Every structure is written in C-alpha cells, then in structure tokens.
A and B are shown apart, each in its own frame.
Chain A
Amino acid sequence: MPKKLNLTPYLFLAPALLVIGVFILYPILAVIYYSFTEYDIVTAPVWIGLKNYQQLWNDEVFWLALRNSFVYLLVTPILIVLCILLAIAVNRKLPGINAFRAIYYVPVISGSIAVGYAWRMLFDTNGLINGALLSLGLIKESIQWLAEPALTLPIAMALTIWLGLGYYMMIFLAGLQNIPEELYDAALIDGCNGIQKHWYVSVPGLRPQITFVAVISALAALEVFNEIYTLTGGLGGILNSGVTMVFYLWKQAFKLQHAGYASAIAMALLVITLLFSIVNIRSLERGTEQE
C-alpha cells in the first residue's frame, strides 16, 4: 500500500515555524543582502558591493568593539568557577538555606536595565562606592569610575557576573543534586579530603552543566548590550571604551541610520558566534569523551 503523506505533524508545526521563519530565518537572509547595500531603513537600499566590508576592515572602532567583545568573554570562565563554588556552598542542609538561595536569585529576575541603573548610582562620582572607600581611607579623593576608559569594561563585566551568579548557581546546584551520594562516599574511602572530593567527583559530574553554561554565557557575553547601555548612559563610554559588537551594531543601525553598514557588523558577529559555539561545544565534548 503506498504511504499517504500525513499532514498532521506539519499542521502542528506550521504556526511556530512561520513565526521563526519570518522573525529569524528571513532576517538572516535580509541582513546578508543589506550588508552589500547602503541603507538608512527609510529609503530603498542601494547596492554597493563590498564597500561596507572594506569600510569595516579599516574601521578602528569596529576592531576595538571586536577586541572588547573578546575581552568580555572572560566572564564565562569566571562565572563557571564562581557559580560551581557557590553551588557547592548552598548544597548543604542548613536551616534557612532556601532563603539564601532565593536571595542570590533576586538579581536574576530584577532585570539588567533596573540593576544596571542601580549600579550606575553605586559607581556615580557621588555614589556609595566612593563614599565607602573614602571613609575607609582607601582612596584620598573620589574616583570617576564610569568616566575612566580602563574601568568601563571591567565594571560592566562585574555587573554581568553579578547578574548571572544566581542563575548559573541554580543550574550547577541542580547538577550537584543529581550526583549519587555513593560517589562521594567512595571518594572519602579513597582518602579524598573535602576539597579533593569536589575536584574528583563534583566537577566531572557537572560536565553537562558546564557545557551548557559555557555555551549560554559565552553567547550572552558576545551579545551584551544592556549593561553597557545603562552604565554609559547609552553613549558607549569615554573613547568608545565600552563599545562591544552589539553596541556598535545598535549605534550604527539605529542611532546613525547606517543599517547597511550595521548589517555588515551583524554578519561579523554571526560568524564569530558561529565559530565560537562550534569550538566551545567541540572542545567540551572532547573533554567528555576522554573520561
């Protein structure tokens, strides 16, 4: 009997695929096209060949943005280490431990815009940080934290880490709770001390979570915007010190109306995220195979 094509699965898929097609797949194709044009969104795009890419190659701000985005990736290993330690700390039966977990989670749900502006107040010349450091005698006069090019990126990265702590901690905590207790008992019998036991049991046991957090937090780092926007008041910092790939994309497309040029930046960003995700997943998978 010839098999009749069953339409049911396709009907179930249709609405979601339509949305993803229109708002993700089509935009990728459109951005590829726009990147070869001069386009201000209002008037029709004009084909200019490779000009945008040539301009990109000679654009110092673009290279700075690229460099800044790569520097920003440092948040990923820091988050992994801090959050595993934090998860180990809260993975014990103490009275009130749930309250602590909940408190650590508050920044995650508060949202990066609100929290970003709160941090901007803290680091204001007249903010709490200067007040505290002055009264402790650690500094002689107020520091202009957010007007110091060398500090823009580190402060934004600290904010990203602070925002992510609770979220990634919870992921690692869930992972820890899946590790069978017997493995820890065996490690103790083998003579492991408290720290060794985590190194030999917890860390290998958390491999899937580490892969997940590495990929997710690296993507988030490459796509960072809100932290830079709030801390620099939407300007990108003195001397573009806080300008990342996405910030530059946004500025070119929506502040300067250079949508064609911004599309070329978007293509560069896409290639980088692609390469990075492949390398990230590959290397972490290889790590698992060696187990």
Chain B
Amino acid sequence: MTAAQTPAVAARRRNRQRHIAETLFWYVLLLFIAAITILPLAWTLLTSLKGPHDAIFSVPPQLLPQDPTLDNYARVWKQLPVGNFFLNSIVVAIATTTLNVLLTALAAYPFAKMKFRGRDTIFYLLLATFIVPPQLTYIPGFVLARNVFQYYDTLVALVFPNLATVFNIFLLRQAFRGVPNDLIDAAKMDGASELRIWWQILLPVIRPSLATAAIITFVTSWNDFLWPSLMLPTMTNKTLPVGLAALQGMFASDLRATAAGIVMTIIPILILFIILQRQFVRGMTGAVKG
C-alpha cells in the first residue's frame, strides 16, 4: 500500500460507512411508519383470534392469542348473514363499476375529441358539481328512492345514483385527449361510425385509464357507507360496511366478535389489492397529472 492510496481508501471506507448508516436510518424510519400503519389492523386480527381465556385487556397488553380459535368468526357468521353482505357488496361494486365506466367513457369522448355547441359550458358545469357535498344530495335522493324510483331497500338504490361520476368523466377525457387524431381520422375514412370508433379503436387504446377509473369506482363503491346505510334497512340486503355497523351494535361489548367482523370486511378488498397491487397504485395516483 503506497502513501498516496491510503487517504483514498480511507475516504472510500468512510463513504461506505456513511452509506450504510444512511440506509440503516431509512430502514428504521420506514419500519417505524409501517408499524404505525399496520398496528391497528394487526391488533384487530390478533384480537379476532383470541379465545375466551385470552385477555383482551391486560397490563402489559397480551398481543398473541394463547389458544387461537376461529370461534369468533363462527359466532358472527351464525348471528348475521355475512354471506349475504359479501354477495351484496360484490354485486353492487361490479354493477356500479361496469356501468359507470361505460357511461363516463361515452361522455368523455365528445368532450375530448368533438367540437359542438355548449361543450365548454357543460364541461365546466360538470366540474363545478364536483364540490357539491354528496350528503347534500341524499335528502332528495331519499325522496326519489321512496316515491319515484321505488328502489328503497334494494341494491339498485346503490347502483343507480352512482352510474356516472364527474371525476371519471374528467379522468377519461384526459385519456382520450392523448389519443392521436390520425387514428380517428383514418377510421372515419374507412367509414366507421363514431360509436364503432369509440368501442373498437379508442377504448382498447385507453385501457390503462379505464382500469384506473374502474379501480377507483370499485373501491369507492365497496367502502361506501352513508348512502347504503340509509337505503338498506333489511338485514339480508346490507353490504359489508353497513353490516359491520349493525354487528357493532349487536356485539358492542364483545370485542372479539367485533374484531372478527372487521377482519371479514377488510379481507376481500385486501386480497384484491394484493393481486392488482400495481394497477391499484397507478390507478389511485394516475388521476392527478398537474
């Protein structure tokens, strides 16, 4: 080792040590935040598996169940039509998502690619409704459901008002704008109708944005609570979040059962998230581009 090399080697080593320390710092920080994020849900999961002899409350707290059991789940399942809740949630979310994306994709196309009278006026009017609190619409919505559309206490009541959302129109308009005009013009030269162009050429091109819109709509529908809670008094008609609120009322003092209910509500959407993780994240954030 020559004298000239030593400082360089030392500097490199110092650099590497600094790098390791920095990396360690970030991992500790990230793990800490992950713990805060996961703790409430992990605690709920562990509580739901606790048997009658495991303490819910003790000093210091007992985290792990001594004799893990699924009894709490069985108890909730026996008392409440959880299977119905699942099915209702799935039916509503799929129906809402499919129809909503279809209708908003239809509406978004002319906003992006056609010139017509009143286009900007209609578009800004739509944008303005974005700030209307949805809860405001629930009072007249309730009257419509009971007196006009007669879908009170049916699942249709959850699908119908959510068939079109301004947010998705805006999102898909952005997507259509990104499609080159040549593509549309070429199809027109071939004599294709606007509807065919939309369905056969444009929809496949903007598929990532359609997935985004679909995911946002699905998650919103799945987790929706206030409107479904107003519309679905009959137990077997309830969706998961509304059923969970009912469970919370019935098992108020039974934390193990409540925990089981919470876990059963979260598991389906969590599985979906794990399968479609990449699309989820891109979907929920892709909506904002400056």
Contacts and interface: CB of A to CB of B under 8 A. Distances in A.
A188 B289 CA distance: 27
A277 interface: yes
A57 interface: no
Contact of B23 (A31, A94, A115): A94
A118 interface: yes
A277 to B, nearest CB: 5
Interface string B1-34: 0000000000000000000000100110110011
Contacts of B26: 89, 92, 94
B206 to A, nearest CB: 15
Given A111-B266, A250-B226, A270-B132, 7 more contacts: A8-B110, A9-B114, A13-B111, A16-B107, A20-B126, A109-B270, A175-B288
Contacts of B273: 102, 105-106, 109
A281 B36 CA distance: 33
Nearest to B146: A41
Contact of A122 (B43, B266, B284): B43
A262 interface: yes
Contacts of B61: 128, 131-132, 135
Nearest to B34: A103
Contact of B244 (A13, A108, A113): A113
B277 A103 contact: no
Most buried by A among B109, B139, B222: B139
Interface stretch (A48-56, A71-79, A145-153, A218-226): A218-226
Nearest 10 A-B pairs (CB), nearest first? A111-B223, A9-B110, A135-B60, A126-B57, A16-B107, A131-B61, A30-B140, A27-B137, A27-B140, A16-B164
B187 interface: no
Contacts of A9: 110, 114, 116, 119
Contacts of A118: 40-41, 43-44, 259, 262
A100 B30 contact: yes
Contacts of A132: 60-61
Interface string B131-170: 1111111111111101000000000000011011010010
Contacts of A120: 248
Interface string A1-22: 0000110111011011101101
8 contacts: A103-B34, A104-B33, A108-B284, A122-B43, A128-B61, A171-B285, A263-B139, A270-B136
B135 A250 contact: yes
Interface string A118-158: 11111010111011101100000000000000000000000
Given A117-B248, A131-B59, A16 B103 contact: yes
Contacts of B117: 5
Contacts of B225: 111-113, 225-226, 229
Contact of A30 (B143, B219, B285): B143
Nearest to A262: B139
Contact of B132 (A24, A122, A130): A24
Contacts of B64: none
A183 to B, nearest CB: 16
Given A113-B223, A117-B258, A225-B226, A174 B286 contact: yes
Nearest to A175: B288
Contacts of B114: 6, 8-9, 12
A194 to B, nearest CB: 10
A193 interface: no
Contacts of B137: 23-24, 27-28, 31
A68 interface: no
Interface string A59-89: 0000000000000000000000000001001
Contacts of B135: 223, 225, 246, 249-250, 266, 269
A121 B248 CA distance: 11
A15 to B, nearest CB: 5
A17 B23 contact: no
A259 B140 CA distance: 9
A230 B144 CA distance: 27
B245 interface: yes
Nearest to B116: A9
